[in-house]
Structure formats: structure tokens, C-alpha cells
């Protein structure tokens, strides 16, 4: 997309790589002249208040101008043939230079905007490759398209339809349509990547978290087993000591386990829970090979083949739809030919006006956000109703759903039953379950 915009505007001669440097230097020169003008005006006023004569003021202004302006090229916009000897000439020269720099800066500002928008677009595009977020994708698209907007404001030769083509091949191969399709393809592919990333990233994070938790659980179990083995070794060595020592050790162990404080008992319960949890996880993984995928929600995530296939098919359908809709809506004669209008209306000049295109284009464009808005309203109302329901209403709703599932399963098991029998059995079931509820 950026390359197309660059190649389309290249014949206009706006891509001068010295433009950013010239713009910065021009701004610096303009600010320097403004600062110099304010400074010498202030100094001249102070000298007048002190009581210095006009001759001293003129000599100071002439000396500063000939020293600072003529000897420093970056403060000299367009140069002067020789040193100036009059303060009036100096002020007139500065005013003329400021006006010339302002006009030059106006022209250079647009060229600078082209490079600025291009730089922002490329930077946001590279950022979107590293961080798949909508704001970077949309920002890159808007920045590149802003180049065409600025060029149109300057009346440059941007791609446009002077007369809309009635031939579909001519329309599809035009530079305007190619730029539009490439821009749409960029948005389509980028947003599909963002969507795939947003769907797959939580599954990966959950899988990584579960792996860490299972590893920590196994390490805790192994650590406890090692501690118990050390206790067995120490108890064996202690059994070889005297009877009094053994009795005191047993008494201390009983007091710690039975009559111990709350922290010790809680630690023992936690160790027991960890061990039971480890045994449960091991049994679950042995009995069900897909248990790990189900715990990490990997089984619920779509496969790579499905994501790639649906992305290609969906993007292709949307791309073809955009081409066909744009050709039909931007060419009113094609659309109005199906209405079989009278020849006076079908061949009128008004059909070539932009208002007819807007009359067809605006309703179609507003249809999609309107449908999305209606869907959002319906979903929000259902959520509000769900939150406002009482426990009894939720229980009744659950019973009705279960009853409906049982009835559907019963109908699938006996498909040969007549309609009258179904109505009778449904009535009986309704009365039975209705009375129970």
C-alpha cells in the first residue's frame, strides 16, 4: 500500500529526500530572524530610554546585523550583496526575508507532511508486526491514506475517476481500484491476524500456566517424599539408641502431630491435599490421553488448518463482494438498468451526478453498522434480563430447557409416531412436569 502511494505520487516530484532537511533549516532561519528582530528592537528601545542618541542606536543595529547575519550563513536566508549601512535598510531587509521564508515554509510544510505521514505509517506497521493490536494496524492505514488527502488538498494528480467506467475490466484494472483493493487487503489480512492472535494467545497462556502448576505440584510431592525418606532414615538410626531416648522422641512426635499447634496441623493437611491432588492428576492423565488438552482448552481452540482455510475463504468472499458492490453502487446505470426505468430517466444527465451515487451508496454503507447495533441491543437486553432474573426464575428456565431437550430426544427416538400421539404425549408430559415445577 505504501509503495503504491509512493509510485502514484512520484511523477508529481514531491518525494525529494532533501525536503525534511530543507524544512528544518527554513524553520530555524525563520525563528532566528524573528529572535534577531525582537532583540534589536528591544535593545534600541532600551538605548533610547537610557538617553543614547540615534547615531549610537543605528551603529549598534548595523554592527549586530553585519556581524551575526552576514557572517553566519544559517542566519542569512538568501544573502545580501554587501554590508548594510542604514538601520532602515536592515529592518526592511529582515521583514522581506521573513515574508519570503514564511511563503517558502508554507510550500515545504506539505512536502514535509508527506514524509511525516509516511514515516509514521511505516513505524506503526513495524510496531503492528511486533504487537498485534488494532490501533497499530488502523494507525498505519490512516497515516498512509493521509498522504493522498494532503496531496488532494494541494491539487496534485492523485488517482481518480473523471468519468466512471462502465466496463468492469476497465474498472477492476484502474489505479484507483487497485489502490482500494490493496488497502482493503491490508486491513483484511491484518485484522485476521489480530483476531487469530487474540484467540490463540489465551490458550497458549493457559497451557503455560497449567504446565507450571503441574510442575510445581510434582516438585512439592517429590520434596515431601524426600523429607519422609529422611525421617525414616533418622528414625532407624534413632532406634539403635537407648530406650529413654526413643520414648522421648515418640512422645515429642505424638505431641507435634496430635497436640501440636494450628500451623503444624494445617501444614499436615496441606501436604495431604497436595498428595491427593497429585494422585488424582496422574490417574486422570493415565485414563484420558486428551485430558491435558482439555485442561488447557487446547481442544476447544480451532485447528490451524481450519483457521487458515476460513481466513482464505472469508477474505476472498469479502474481497469479491467489495469489488462487485463498488462497481454496482458507483455506476448507477448498472443498478438502475434492473429497474426498467423510462428512457427519459435512464438517459438523463442527473444519473451522472455524485448525488445519485450517494443515494445508493450511503444506505448500503450504513446497513452494516445498523445491523451490528441491533445485534448489540438484543444481546445487551438478554444479558440484562439474565441478571435481573431471580433464583426461582433461573431454576424454571433451566427446567424448561431440560424438558425441551428430553422432548427433542424422545422425538428423535420415535420418528414414526403420528402427530396426534405426539400432541397427547406432549400434553401429558407438560402436565406432569408442570405440576412438579
How far is 186 from 84, CA to CA, in rounded Å?
A: 59
Q: The C-alpha cell of 387 is what?
A: 441478571
Domain-located, residue 343: no
Domain boundary among 311, 330, 349: 330
Q: Are residues 220 and 319 in the same domain?
A: yes
pTM recorded for the entire structure: 0.56
Domain boundary among 277, 297, 330: 330
Write down the mean pLDDT value for the chain. Answer: 71
Q: Are residues 150 and 177 in the same domain?
A: no
Distance of CA 136 to the CA centre of its chain: 6
Q: Are residues 64 and 96 in the same domain?
A: yes
Q: Are residues 98 and 125 in the same domain?
A: yes
Is residue 147 within a helix (H) or strand (E), and if so which, with residue range? helix 134-153
Distance of CA 47 to the CA centre of its chain: 61
How far is 94 from 33, CA to CA, in rounded Å?
A: 7
Q: Are residues 181 and 151 in the same domain?
A: no
How far is 355 from 137, CA to CA, in rounded Å?
A: 32
Query: Percent of the chain, pLDDT > 70?
Result: 62
* Contact partners, residue 437, CB within 8 Å, separation at least 6: 396, 399
CB 45 within 8 A of CB 116: no
pLDDT classification of 115: cutoffs 50, 70, 90: confident
pLDDT classification of 419: cutoffs 50, 70, 90: very low
Q: Are residues 71 and 115 in the same domain?
A: yes
Q: Is the confidence at residue 432, as pLDDT, over 70?
A: no
Q: Is the confidence at residue 251, as pLDDT, over 60?
A: no
The pLDDT, as a whole number, for residue 174 is 81
Domain-located, residue 218: yes
Domain-located, residue 133: yes
Domain-located, residue 244: yes
Q: Are residues 134 and 237 in the same domain?
A: no
Q: Are residues 109 and 186 in the same domain?
A: no
Domain-located, residue 39: yes
Nearest alpha carbon to residue 44 among 58, 30, 33: 58
Domain-located, residue 371: no
CB 22 within 8 A of CB 108: yes
How far is 21 from 432, CA to CA, in rounded Å?
A: 87
Q: Are residues 139 and 188 in the same domain?
A: no
How far is 57 from 61, CA to CA, in rounded Å?
A: 6
Q: Are residues 181 and 281 in the same domain?
A: yes
Using CA atoms, how far residue 407 sits from 180, 323, 414, 431, 433, in Å, is 53, 48, 11, 14, 12
CB 144 within 8 A of CB 121: yes
Domain-located, residue 357: no
Q: Are residues 197 and 127 in the same domain?
A: no
CB 2 within 8 A of CB 147: no
Domain-located, residue 304: yes
Phi-psi category of 301—alpha, beta or left, where left has phi over 0 and alpha has psi -120 to 50?
Answer: beta
Question: pLDDT tens across 51-93, in order?
Answer: 777 777 778 887 877 777 766 654 555 555 567 777 787 788 8
Q: Are residues 206 and 256 in the same domain?
A: yes
Structural domain count, the chain: 2
Domain boundary among 312, 330, 348: 330
Question: Could you give the 3-state DSSP secondary structure of residue 208?
Answer: helix
Q: Which domain holds residue 203?
A: 166-330
* Contact partners, residue 76, CB within 8 Å, separation at least 6: 69, 70
Amino acid at each position: 500500500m505504501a509503495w503504491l502511494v509512493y509510485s502514484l505520487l512520484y511523477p508529481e516530484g514531491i518525494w525529494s529526500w532533501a525536503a525534511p532537511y530543507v524544512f528544518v533549516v527554513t524553520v530555524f532561519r525563520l525563528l532566528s530572524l524573528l529572535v534577531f528582530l525582537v532583540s534589536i528592537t528591544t535593545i534600541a528601545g532600551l538605548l533610547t530610554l537610557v538617553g543614547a542618541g540615534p547615531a549610537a542606536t543605528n551603529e549598534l543595529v548595523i554592527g549586530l546585523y553585519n556581524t551575526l547575519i552576514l557572517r553566519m550563513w544559517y542566519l542569512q536566508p538568501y544573502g545580501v550583496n554587501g554590508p548594510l549601512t542604514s538601520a532602515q535598510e536592515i529592518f526592511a531587509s529582515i521583514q522581506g526575508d521573513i515574508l519570503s521564508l514564511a511563503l517558502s515554509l508554507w510550500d515545504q510544510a506539505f512536502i514535509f507532511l508527506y514524509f511525516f505521514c509516511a514515516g509514521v505509517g511505516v513505524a506503526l506497521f513495524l510496531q503492528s508486526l511486533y504487537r498485534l493490536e488494532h490501533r497499530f494496524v488502523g494507525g498505519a492505514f490512516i497515516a498512509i491514506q493521509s498522504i493522498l488527502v494532503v496531496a488532494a488538498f494541494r491539487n496534485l494528480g492523485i488517482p481518480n475517476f473523471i468519468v466512471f467506467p462502465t466496463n468492469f475490466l476497465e474498472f477492476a484494472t484502474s489505479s484507483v481500484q487497485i489502490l482500494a483493493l490493496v488497502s482493503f487487503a491490508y486491513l483484511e489480512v491484518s485484522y485476521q491476524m489480530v483476531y487469530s492472535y487474540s484467540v490463540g494467545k489465551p490458550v497458549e497462556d493457559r497451557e503455560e500456566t497449567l504446565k507450571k502448576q503441574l510442575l510445581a505440584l510434582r516438585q512439592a510431592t517429590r520434596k515431601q517424599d524426600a523429607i519422609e525418606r529422611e525421617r525414616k532414615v533418622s528414625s532407624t538410626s534413632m532406634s539403635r539408641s537407648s530406650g529413654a531416648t526413643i520414648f522421648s522422641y515418640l512422645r515429642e512426635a505424638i505431641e507435634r502431630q496430635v497436640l501440636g499447634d494450628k500451623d503444624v496441623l494445617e501444614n499436615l493437611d496441606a501436604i495431604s491435599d497436595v498428595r491427593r491432588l497429585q494422585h488424582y492428576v496422574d490417574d486422570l492423565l493415565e485414563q484420558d490421553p486428551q485430558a491435558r488438552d482439555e485442561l488447557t482448552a487446547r481442544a476447544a481452540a480451532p485447528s490451524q488448518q481450519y483457521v487458515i482455510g476460513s481466513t482464505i475463504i472469508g477474505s476472498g468472499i469479502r474481497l469479491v463482494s467489495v469489488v462487485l458492490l463498488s462497481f454496482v453502487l458507483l455506476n448507477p446505470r448498472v443498478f438502475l438498468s434492473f429497474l426498467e426505468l423510462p428512457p427519459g430517466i435512464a438517459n438523463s444527465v442527473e444519473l451522472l451526478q455524485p448525488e445519485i451515487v450517494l443515494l445508493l451508496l450511503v444506505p448500503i454503507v450504513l446497513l452494516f453498522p445498523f445491523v451490528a447495533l441491533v445485534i448489540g441491543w438484543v444481546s445487551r437486553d438478554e444479558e440484562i434480563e439474565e441478571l435481573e432474573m431471580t433464583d426461582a426464575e433461573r431454576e424454571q428456565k433451566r427446567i424448561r430447557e431440560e424438558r425441551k431437550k428430553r422432548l427433542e430426544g424422545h422425538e428423535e427416538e420415535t420418528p414414526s409416531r403420528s402427530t396426534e400421539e405426539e400432541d397427547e404425549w406432549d400434553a401429558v408430559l407438560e402436565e406432569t412436569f408442570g405440576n412438579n415445577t
